[in-house]
Structure 1
């Protein structure tokens, strides 16, 4: 059972790492720059760690920009105000995401500008056969670890839907519970001041106030664990911070 727990933790934090660093802070908000080579490397790494729930950075980036533009209005891709329950919100988010990915959803050019796009890779990584292969891989690993039946029932669905699960936690619970540092025009909240669970994503109210700020922590008692990772990658010249970038960009 120890092996199963370790596997789940690696998948949880590994998947979320790329979702917040690459999809959110880079693709959606362009908080820093990187070379095309590093973009492709992060596409592949995101697929490896997200597995069956791989998210297209392009579709995610465009959709998230629309979320900031229309937060908690009827045009928001995911809002607990207009979705009657968590599952309804997740389904509507999936529909919107697919429409952006296929081009069915018409988006203004300014919300697409600069979003990384590697459509041939997205087509491969998002193929249903590839997604099924990942789920079978998770099941095979659980079998190798001699996991009890209840672990398959509880954890395999979470592995299969890891990325949507992460999104649902923030887009539902961080618009309903927690505390607010800023009175913004939406219902965003901070779930926890030291975000040990979501790589800083639950400092959501801070992020909605300062959309282009790489560090989601604002108060002295808050801590965004992703920010030191971003600083390290900047020192290693993997990424470069954008001088003069406004905190309100892509709000």
Structure 2
């Protein structure tokens, strides 16, 4: 029973973390492939930083930089620049640069956030970025002392799993795996990363159709994140923008990608 409880705690914490990022930050805020209900959107904007330790505005800006400069020297996290083993440190440094750039209102960063109608989280505006880690650490320590160290570790590792999630996607998704589409970058469809990180590993599909809420093209490409979007839509908490969905593969011939640029996202936000 104890091991089952540990697994359940890890799974719940992991799901909260990855769904906030893949549905809220990525498909919702960054690409507007999913329109969140105002209540859910407010929770993601104001609570997401506390849950994941990542600022939603900074995350979106860094992700848009990645799309615009994918696998070039300006990419904030490409294995072509730093190697697979260098991704973890590179994405941290890039995230810190984005935070500083937004705080200084640097146009090199703010131009990617014109449609985001909210500021950086107060934690980053007041240099208290560490508080979410402290809170989750205290909760994990309390569970460890009160119940058992494995339960506490399960909570903390599940809730703070984003560096591993991001590292796997940003490295394997641009280094190892097949390609359905001839994109200008080195994006790949890595099934290991996709299964573990709710479809995020299908980077080639996503880079070909960045405005699609679904990251799968072939039927065997399982995108659990899109399944979560469908469930949220049925609950009335989100609406999927089906105009930009990846067309389901009818043959092995690759379809032509229809990229959605930052300027288009900004235009849609103003409409």
TM-score normalised by the chain length of structure 1: 0.82
The 8 Å contact of residues 190 and 205 in structure 1, kept in 2 or not, is answered as: yes
Counterpart of 2:42 in structure 1 is 40
**Could you tell which deviates more after superposition, 63-72 or 99-108?**
99-108
Mapping 1:1-251, distance limit 5 Å? 2=3, 3-47=5-49, 49-50=51-52, 54-84=53-83, 85-103=86-104, 105-107=106-108, 111-123=112-124, 127-147=129-149, 158=157, 161-192=160-191, 195-242=194-241, 244-245=243-244, 247-250=258-261
How many residue pairs were aligned? 245
Q: 1:60: how far off?
A: 0.7
Q: Distance in 1 between matches of 2:192 and 2:139?
A: 35
Distance 1:108 1:4, change over 3 A: closer
Q: Distance in 2 between matches of 1:21 and 1:86?
A: 23
SS at match of 1:223: coil
Distance 1:201 1:106, change over 3 A: same
SS at match of 1:55: coil
Q: Distance in 2 between matches of 1:148 and 1:22?
A: 29
Distance 1:195 1:125, change over 3 A: farther
Counterpart of 2:265 in structure 1 is none
Which ranges of structure 2 fall in alignment gaps of 5 or more residues?
246-257, 263-271
RMSD: 3.1
Q: Distance in 1 between matches of 2:132 and 2:204?
A: 36
The 8 Å contact of residues 87 and 167 in structure 2, kept in 1 or not, is answered as: yes
The 8 Å contact of residues 11 and 158 in structure 2, kept in 1 or not, is answered as: no
Distance 1:116 1:9, change over 3 A: farther
Q: 1:232: how far off?
A: 2.7
Which ranges of structure 1 fall in alignment gaps of 5 or more residues?
none
Q: Distance in 2 between matches of 1:91 and 1:233?
A: 30
Q: Distance in 2 between matches of 1:37 and 1:241?
A: 16
Distance 1:226 1:190, change over 3 A: same
The 8 Å contact of residues 17 and 160 in structure 2, kept in 1 or not, is answered as: no
The 8 Å contact of residues 17 and 161 in structure 2, kept in 1 or not, is answered as: yes
Counterpart of 2:268 in structure 1 is none
Distance 1:128 1:211, change over 3 A: same
